Chain A
Amino acid sequence: MSSMDFFITPRAFAFLGLIPLLILLYLLKLRRSEVIIPSTMLWMKSLQDLTANAPFQKLRRNLLLLLQILILLLLVTALARPYMQSSGIEGRNLCLLLDHSASMQTVERDGTRLALAKAAALEVVNGMERGDKAMVIAFAESADVRCELTDDLYHLRRAIEGIEAHDTRSNVRDAAQIIRSIAPVNPDVTAVVHGLEVLLFSDGNIREGERLAALSLPLQYIQAGKTNDNLGITRLSVRNDSTSEEARQCFIQVYNDRDVESQSTLSLYFEEHLLGVDELTIPPGDTDEAIFVLPDLEEGILRAELDLEDALARDNRAWLSVKQETFIHVYLVGTPDSIGLSMLRHVFSLDPRVKLSVGTPEQFTPNDETDLYLFEGWCPEELPAGTLVFFNTVPAMEGLDVIGELSNPPIMGLDKEHPVLRYTNPGNVSIAKALQLQLPAGATTLVSTEGGALIADISQSLQPMLLVAFDIGDSNWPLHLSFPLFMQNLLAWLPQGRIAGDAAIATGSPIEVYPLPESLVAQVQTPAGDTTTLELDPVRPVYYGATNTAGPYTVTRGEQVDHYAVNLLDQAESAIRPADEVQMGTQQLAAVAGPISFTKELWRWLLLGGLAVLAIEWWVYTYRAEY
């Protein structure tokens, strides 16, 4: 460590070049005012007596200059911002950033990593002195302010002790955003907190660390944990067997973070029934895969388990929701030779989930199997049950009427919040002509034009209905990307389509819950057995976000029960070897060795010293008699 390492801005020492200038100024400055007196005889004698009796004459003669040089030295040293490491804090604002991701559940010799991190954080809090403030942020996949900046040690301790581990990945993005909001990097933005120091308590396996580095705040990394004794399931999926049309396979990948080759027994269960066992031998720092051929299964939860004891138990189990393959029955009714019909037939026939039936108005007979009716240019007088979409035709409905025709109607507005318009932008679609509609009460205009609606949601009670007021064949909509996307949204809008959502969810990600016609309430059961009731929106999905614990979740809507498997399945979290250095973009932050210390800048003292010397100079100048 060189002597320059004790200064934050050692370049300020360049100002020492001012010393010769100061001496020059001093020499120039000392122009004594001339006073003519009767005789200098007595003065000369006095001066001789004084100088003869006073030691260090040369020094004293130039004492003012020496004091000025001393002031300059102190100021330059203050500009160089010297600092020292201190075990205590003094009037500082601290941000205690605690990692509570899955890897922090690793059991070390003295407890879990989270417990160690909490203990270290509590140690910092206990070392706080008068005037110190601290805030607590817990972060995993997202960040949570557990305690605002305060000097209340009780609340700080409670906030730290209250942090529990999540089965999610570690990402400081949100935490950095929070810190940025109170201590912005941009000097033009007024900071809520000045001089914030960030203490990161983690095992170092974090993502987007560069966001912390970009804050340009004093940052210390307090490493928690030492072990890397872990095997973990990092992938679990079901796929169709390429050799057999009917059979399905379960693919499982296991990662070994140990330094030695490890063996483990991998078991696969469906609900509580054992489906298979495999013995894996995994090289150190590598993965091994196992494939199980699944029998014909009903809906339920597949569970993979590693039969071993290691430091991190949370990644030894993984779940997968098995669903029966379901189809959406679509009945397309219209004039056989119309362009619109052929376009609709074409777009739905490509979707493997769809079983499409096409018929003419004469052949139309409603059936219970159909989920979605598409009426192109014609509609029956009596509407069937199910989801109905009308193209260039208007059903008999109270309040709904055709009042004219629109020629080249421009698209004026879009309701992008509606599920059928998600990710689509039909704004630049050209339409030759359209029906001018009078909409019933309660209808929602999704795409509007001058003088009316082009697409409207005319759902009645719980029966979803859409009305497209123009002939697809009279527009260039099929040539736009928004056309197939609209049709996909249409399928997802179906109650049946909503059930067929993604059943494999990463921890921390929300579960989308859609309403059923018969139920606007859902019960969500967590892996721990706790049940939460969700009020559902008739039109939009409701998100259930408390998925920080891995395991099977059950969503019950009326008679409908759906299983969701929430998994960690992240090799970065299973690789629990603590990082001695946190990678932050191009920078690396080394872990603090030994007790936590704080940078204590000394420039204030130097500035005070400079002022004191200035005062002494003034005093010397005024009362030279004293020396």
Chain B
Amino acid sequence: MTPPSHNDTAPLLDATFLRRLERMAIAVKKVHLGAAKGERRSKRKGTSTDFADFRNYVQGDDLRHVDWNIYGRLDELYLKLFQEFEDVTLHLLLDVSQSMAFGTPQKFAFGQKLVAAMGYIGLAGYDRVSVGLLSGDRVEGLTPIRGKASANKLFAFLQKNDAGGSTNLDEAIRMYSMRQRNRGVYVVISDFLDEEGFEPALKRLCATRSDVYIVQVLAPEEIEPELTGDLKLVDSESEHYTEVSVSRALLKRYHQNRDAFVERVRTYCLGRGMGHYLVSSDTPVENILLDVFRKGGLLR
């Protein structure tokens, strides 16, 4: 399968980068049931050449799977079970609320590229890729796709959507998980700056019993704000405002709170077996994949 044409992917990923992505694969920790044949070991016993187990013959079993050698020795019917290889579903959830439309570069644009790259890795690895764009309490979803040929579909889907609206991660994830019953690998890309709190959403992801990876994206302006003077700070989503006189003490306090918030998300994730990555939107996606995700165990 050839990678998508340069023209199609130009806004998101270039061809060279796509070729490099093909050498990567999603690391799956848990064994999940797949939806179709694939390259991931499935919980299901199947027809591969890899021996898995024996079990007693019950009426109705296919006699072709009876191990006649054991019958010869023990005069009992045992069925020889083989390992099944199926695909795994990669759920890529991108927060597209208004807060993601900020930053230089935009957190949303960064998220688009990251989803595109991860999706391409999944497609190249014969995995099923499902994309959900979370905005407010609704989800813009892409029907699960497979194979590199569907890459363009993925990219087009990503490119046609813009950031906007408020965030209600919990509700959006709830709706997504209702549609997608397949377990697999969840990668959630968001800033998690939800006034309602990030915990319910993460708890809901945890309940899917999938491999969950949280990618917390912050813009450089959020990491090191360059604000001075008496300002009226308006929340992009809620339009609530806060009047501040930016001082060194306030900035210092902001840094402390920012670190505390990130640490809280990380602690919450790690405590529930979820992976957590903090990335800045000005970091090249390639670096994120190679350095952060590979070292963090999400990619191999």
Contact = CB atoms under 8 A, between A and B. Distances in A.
Interface string B251-279: 11110111001000000000000000000
A40 B258 contact: no
A41 B244 contact: no
Contacts of B98: 38
Contacts of A154: none
Interface in A9-50: 30, 32-47, 49-50
Given A42-B193, A42-B254, 10 more contacts: A36-B236, A38-B219, A38-B236, A39-B191, A40-B238, A40-B241, A41-B235, A45-B257, A625-B247, A626-B248
B234 interface: yes
Interface residues of A, number: 23
A624 interface: yes
A41 B232 contact: no
B253 A50 contact: yes
Interface residues of B, number: 41
Interface string B219-233: 101100001011111
Contacts of A43: 233, 242, 244, 254
B250 interface: yes
Contact of A46 (B107, B193, B230, B257): B257
Given A41-B195, A43-B244, A49 B234 contact: no
A56 interface: no
Contact of B240 (A40, A42, A626): A40
A50 B249 contact: yes
Contacts of A34: 231-232, 234, 241
B234 A36 contact: yes
B235 A46 contact: no
B257 to A, nearest CB: 5
B250 A37 contact: no
24 contacts: A34-B231, A35-B231, A35-B232, A36-B236, A37-B235, A38-B107, A38-B191, A38-B219, A39-B99, A39-B191, A40-B233, A40-B242, A41-B193, A41-B235, A42-B254, A42-B261, A43-B233, A43-B242, A46-B254, A46-B257, A49-B256, A623-B248, A624-B250, A625-B247
A33 B250 CA distance: 17
Contacts of B62: none
B243 interface: yes
Given A44-B242, A49-B253, A623-B248, A39 B231 contact: no
A35 B232 CA distance: 6
Contacts of A625: 247-252
B237 interface: yes
Interface in B81-107: 98-100, 102-103, 107
Contacts of B219: 38
B245 interface: yes
Given A32-B243, A39-B195, A41-B195, A47 B250 contact: yes
A46 B237 contact: no
Contacts of A32: 229-232, 243
Contacts of B247: 623-625
A624 B248 contact: yes
A567 B140 CA distance: 124
B222 A33 contact: no
A17 B240 CA distance: 38
B50 to A, nearest CB: 49
Nearest to A44: B242
Contacts of A40: 233-235, 238, 240-242
B134 to A, nearest CB: 15
Given A42-B254, A43-B254, A33 B229 contact: yes
Most buried by A among B221, B235, B256: B235
A39 B253 CA distance: 16
B244 to A, nearest CB: 6
B227 to A, nearest CB: 7
Given A32-B230, A623-B247, A625-B252, A47 B193 contact: no
Contacts of A46: 250, 253-254, 256-257
A486 to B, nearest CB: 93
Interface in B172-221: 191, 193, 195, 219, 221
A47 B242 CA distance: 9
A37 B233 contact: yes
